[in-house]
Amino acid sequence: MIDNIQKISDQAVAGISAATDERSLEDARVAFLGKKGTLAGASAGIKDVPNEDKPAFGAALNQARTAINAALDAKTLELQNLADQKSVAGIDLTLPARELAAGGLHPLTIVKDRAIQILRRMGFALADGPEIETEYHCFDALNTPDDHPARNEKDTFYFDGGKLLRTHTSSVQIRTMENSTPPVRIIAPGSAYRRDDVDATHLPVFNQLEGLYVDTDVKLGDLKGTLEYFLQAMFGDNTEVRFRPHFFPFTEPSFEIDVKLTIAGQEPKWIEVAGCGMVDPAVFSSIATQRGDDAFDPENVTGYAFGMGLDRLAMIQYGIKDIRALIENDTRFLSQFA
């Protein structure tokens, strides 16, 4: 009897090693170890074994099962290795891997992110508004008269039906005041559109960052201090900043802000980076009328606003002479910032 088990075991191990694929291996497993398999048949014979021989018989059965299982495991591994080898046949695994080209941030994104980071630290929250705007949000509510040149068809992209591509991010000032109550302290980075001819300093799509602070006691000194601090945080503690009186319909008084740019070996130059001013009471009045409450009543609140050219900031930061480099997607240019 025990001899018979040994024979079954030997046959099974031989049958399993002869398997050439998963299918024939599974057939062999079922034939030897299955419920109706050879080993099951042999173990049924235990009832005819004399009692004193039963332990030896049981041990032989266990040994056979272990041997067959080991043969199955070995064969499975062998077949897997074979399949692996086949799948990489003809491929030289010792070749060095192809270099992965790492992406990097666009210089405009780097500068924008830094500007946001500095201003958020100063308490400004991010705000947003649509790029396709109404004349009301882009001009009327910002105290811009009908005959203002910015409203001209020659300067602005209009859609049929009177909507337009916003000419500045200042429209977000209006959108924000419609939906919140003072104190308001927001920044709104985003694209603006003008019908400008393309040259080294103009693109019809450009990027601005708008700021608005409205509260009960906002003064011109707050505006000056905030923007000076911001520009020095951007460009270095010793950066010289100058406020030049200017005119904007939505602020009074209004200023343009210049930063002194010093490039080694060149005469220092003042570069305009932003417009700003104290929010004109006429803007608050039109918001008050629109809202029908006195949250922004010019008797109760004052505020300042500013709008900077983000492309300008990037050009100053990196000494870029032609704004077109920012949109040409030439990787020889862009990889310098990665």
The residues that touch ligand DAH, with contacts defined as CB under 6 A, are 168, 170, 210, 248, 251, 254, 275-277, 305-307
Q: Comparing C-alpha atoms, which of 276, 232, 277, 230 is closest to residue 121?
A: 230
Q: Which is nearer to ligand DAH, 149 or 236 (CB)?
A: 149
Q: How far is the CB of 302 from ligand DAH (least distance, A)?
A: 13
Judged by beta carbon, residue 8 or residue 142, the one nearer ligand DAH is 142
Closer Cβ to ligand DAH, 136 or 337, answer by number: 136
- Report the nearest approach of ligand DAH to the CB of residue 277 (Å): 5
Is the Cβ of residue 38 or residue 173 nearer to ligand DAH in the bound state? 173
- How near is the Cβ of 157 to ligand DAH at its closest, in Å? 15
Name the residue nearer to ligand DAH (CB basis): 9 or 156. Answer: 156
Q: Among residues 229 and 247, whose Cβ is nearest to ligand DAH? A: 247
Minimum distance from residue 317 beta carbon to ligand DAH (Å): 20
Q: Cβ of residue 177: shortest distance to ligand DAH, in angstroms?
A: 13
Q: Which is nearer to ligand DAH, 57 or 255 (CB)?
A: 255
Q: How far is the CB of 99 from ligand DAH (least distance, A)?
A: 44
Taking the complex as a whole, the smallest distance from the CB of residue 275 to ligand DAH amounts, in Å, to 3
Cα separation, 193 vs 158, in Å, equals 10
* Residue 59: Cβ within 10 Å count: 12
